[in-house]
Structure 1
């Protein structure tokens, strides 16, 4: 039975987080050659995903946390970060906290983007988490946290492949703000933020 739950957890994580690989690869490409970049990105990814799990567990246990209408507005976070990065790129500003800075992305930038991008995952995880017992919740949580590391490794692997790395180093400073802006708009639209 635990093997079935593990397989379900792997499938659920993969389906709901596959889009993070592109953003992670962009983050890794931005910080290429800078000390501490990998640690900041991995820590930020774990911080953001832990917040997603905490919100999911709170909703699962009936805390009424994060009403569905609020989830759509998570799209504002990557949208604003993308607009900020685009503005700074256009002005030629260098800021260590900006997603496009020379020191790579800041830990809180990665965490914020991860949480905002995973806001819709909360709505998917809660119905699944409600159907399993406490052991099942522990298995899902452990598998998810293990797979965050795998996701980071895949993102870093892609960013270090020569053709991909060349493309990302040439266009990453433009792509990341564009991806964040599009991601924010998609989250807002899919969440029904404009249907109010």
Structure 2
């Protein structure tokens, strides 16, 4: 039961922070259509890039736990809260615009392991910003559980992208709802971290 909570939280967090990756990876699938080894390259690249994201988040969070007083850690909840508010503002500001950001990220890029890894890592700034406060306030066991669940879900993410690549209406639905789901999850996560840690005397 002790591990069930971080496992469920990890699943929810992974889904919320990686919906946009489904779109990006599906575009890589579209570019690699008819080429041998496309799935293998995308899978390896995604693991490599996401592994870098996880490593960065773990290192930063452990550093924070080592050098910051324990009372300061709950204030890390301000990071996902700020990211969520910014994402909500950006979604509202661009509500009438055609979103070509994902296409731009893979434009003129061949499907290769390092290319997919680089795009994944470059697109993971928000992930790191979200994972650091979660890891900084979690136990070592919980961090390990988070990482194992995240790594297990990477394969499902790639399979989902392969499915979406051949079904554009599904991709359009994901794009539309991602702009709503992502800010809500981040704002909620930030509030939970602040409340559970007793930040600001809450």
Q: For the structure 1 residues 128 and 84, does the alpha-carbon distance in structure 2 shift closer, same or farther, using more than 3 Å as the test?
A: closer
Match in the other structure for 1:128: 134
Give the TM-score normalised by structure 1: 0.62
- State the 4+ residue runs in structure 1 displaced beyond 2 angstroms: 81-85
Deviations along 1:105-126, whole A, 9 cap, x unmatched?
Answer: 1211111110011112111111
8 Å CA contact retained: 2:44, 2:113: yes
Q: For the structure 1 residues 84 and 152, does the alpha-carbon distance in structure 2 shift closer, same or farther, using more than 3 Å as the test?
A: closer
Match in the other structure for 1:59: 60
Q: For the structure 1 residues 83 and 150, does the alpha-carbon distance in structure 2 shift closer, same or farther, using more than 3 Å as the test?
A: closer
* 1:4 Cα deviation after fit: 0.9
1:109 corresponds to 2:77:
no
Give the TM-score normalised by structure 2: 0.61
Matches within 5 A, 1:156-195: 156-161=162-167, 164=168
* 1:83 Cα deviation after fit: 8.2
Bigger share in helix: 2
The structure with higher relative contact order (CA 8 Å, sep 6+) is: 2
1:17 corresponds to 2:35:
no
CA RMSD of aligned residues (A): 2.8
- What is the alpha-carbon distance in structure 2 between the residues aligned to residue 112 and residue 5 of structure 1? 28
| Runs of 5+ consecutive residues of structure 2 not aligned to the other structure | 68-78, 80-100, 172-202
For structure 1, which segment, 48-57 or 127-136, has the greater mean C-alpha deviation from structure 2 after superposition? 127-136
SS at match of 2:36: coil
Count of aligned pairs: 136
| Runs of 5+ consecutive residues of structure 1 not aligned to the other structure | 69-78, 86-97, 169-196
SS at match of 2:35: coil
- What is the alpha-carbon distance in structure 2 between the residues aligned to residue 43 and residue 59 of structure 1? 24
- What is the alpha-carbon distance in structure 1 between the residues aligned to residue 106 and residue 44 of structure 2? 22
